[in-house]
Amino acid sequence: MKKSIVSVILFLSGIVLFAQTKDEQTLKEIYKSSLTNSKCYSWLDYLSNKIGSRLSGSASAEKAVQYTKAQLETLGLDRVYLQEVMVPKWVRGEKETAYIQDNKTKINVPICALGGSVATSKNGLTAEVVEVHSIKELEALGNKIKGKIVFFNRPMEDEQIEAFNAYSGCVDQRYAGAKEASKFGALGTIVRSMNLRLDDFPHTGAQSYGDIPKSQYIPTAAISTNGAELLSKKIKNNPKLKFYFKQSCKQMDDVLSYNVIGEIKGSEHPENIMVVGGHLDSWDLADGSHDDGAGVVQSMEVVNIFKNLGYKPKNTIRVVLFMNEENGGKGGKKYEELAQTNKENHIFALESDSGGFSPRGFSLESDDANFNKILGWKDLFEPYLIHSFVKGHAGSDIGPLTSKMLVKAGLKPDSQRYFDYHHALNDTFDAVNKRELELGAATMASLVYLIDQDGIETSKEVQ
C-alpha cells in the first residue's frame, strides 16, 4: 500500500516537473524569438517615421490602418479584418502662440491646445491670470475668476514611485478644468503639462466640456513645465499681469475609421477568445512612438512569435489595434458592442499602453483566484526581471469589455521616463529602445501562452 502511494506521488511529481520544464523552455523560446527574430522595431520605425502622428479621423490614421492590416496579413494568421467605428475628428490648426505680458515686457512661452478645445478668437485672448492648484480651490474662488484666465498649476508629485499615480493625482485639472472654470465665467484656462521633469515641451491630452452648453465652451491649453514655473513666479511678483494665447483648433463631424483585427483560431476551444492589443491612434504633436505605437507593434509581435514558434493555441488569440483611445475611446466601445452582438466569449484581455520601456510586470483586474494563479507563475518570469504583479487598472481600450468570465491585464513597463514623452513633441521613434520594446513583446506573449495553456479559474464571475 505504501509503495503504491509513493509511486503515485513520484508519478505526479514527475508530471509537475515536466510541466514546469516545458513552460520554462517555452518562455525561453519566446524571449529568444522576440530578441533575435522580431519585427516590432521595424514596424514601429515605419509607423513613426513613414506615417507619423495618427490622430483619429486624420489621413495618417487611415494610413496606419492599412499598413498594420497589410503587415498582419503577411504573418499567416487565420483571419485579418477591419471593424468599422465612427470616431471624432478634431483639428489643431495653426501652431499656438502665447506670451506673458508683464507691464510692457512680453515673454513667449510654449503652449499647445488640449484635445477637443475650442479656438480663441482670431486675434487671440488676453486677460489677467488667476493661479489655482486644484478644482476645489477654483470653486472656492467662485465668481472672482470671472473675466480672467485660470492657470491650473498643480504639479505631478515627485515622491510617487509609480509615475502613473503621480499622473492620476493631477490629471483632473487637464480633463475637467475648462468645464469647471467656465461655470464661474472664466475666459480660458491654461494647465501645467503632465510631466515630472522641467522642460519646454507642452503636453496635450484629452479634455471634456461635459454637459455644459456649447455657448459656455472656453479655450484651454497646456503650458510647458518651465513655462508654468515662470508664469507662477511672475504672478507672485505682479498679480495684475496678463496672459495672451491664440489657437485655431476645430471640432469636425465624426468620420469612419477602423479597429484592425487579426486572429489565430484556437485548436481546442476556438469559441474562447483571448485579446492582446494597443491603440493605433496617437496625438498629433509627434509620432506617438511610446503612446501607443509601442503597444501596437508589441501586440502584433505576440502573434508573430507564436507563428515563428509554430505554437498552436488552444483558445483563439486575437490581436486588436483599437482606434480612438486618445480622444473618445470609440474603438474599445465598438469592439465590446460587437462582441455582445456576436455573443463572443472573451476569457482574457491584455493591453499595452504604458510605453515601450523595460517591462516590469502586469496590472491585473481579476478575482483573487486568478490573481493568485498568475502570481504563481512569478518564478517563471524571474529570469526576465519581471517581478511586479499587482491588482489595478488594466487598460482603457479593454475597459469596456465584458464576458461571463474575463481576466484583464495591462503590461507594466518601468514608468520613470514615460511622462517625459507622453502626449508631447518628443514622443518620437528615437526615444524607444529596441531591446526594451522586444522584451515587452516577449513578456506579453509569455503571459498569453501561460493563460492559454492553463486557462482561467471559473469559481465566480470576473469583470
Asked whether the beta carbons of 264 and 316 are under 8 A apart, the reply is yes
Are 246 and 288 in contact, with CB atoms under 8 Å apart?
A: no
Q: For the chain, first and last CA: distance in Å? A: 47
340 neighbors 366 (Cβ within 8 angstroms): no
- Alpha-carbon distance 92 to 79, whole Å? 36
Q: Is 254 helix (H, G, I), strand (E, B) or coil?
A: strand
Residue type, 154: R
Residues known to be catalytic? 325
275 φ/ψ angles, rounded to the nearest 5 degrees: -100, 140
Instruction: Name residue, grid cell 500500500.
Output: 1
CA distance 450 to 362: 14
Pairwise CA distance, residues 89 & 70, whole Å: 24
Residue 19 contacts by C-beta under 8 Å, 6 or more apart in sequence? none
β strands within 269-314, DSSP E: 269-279
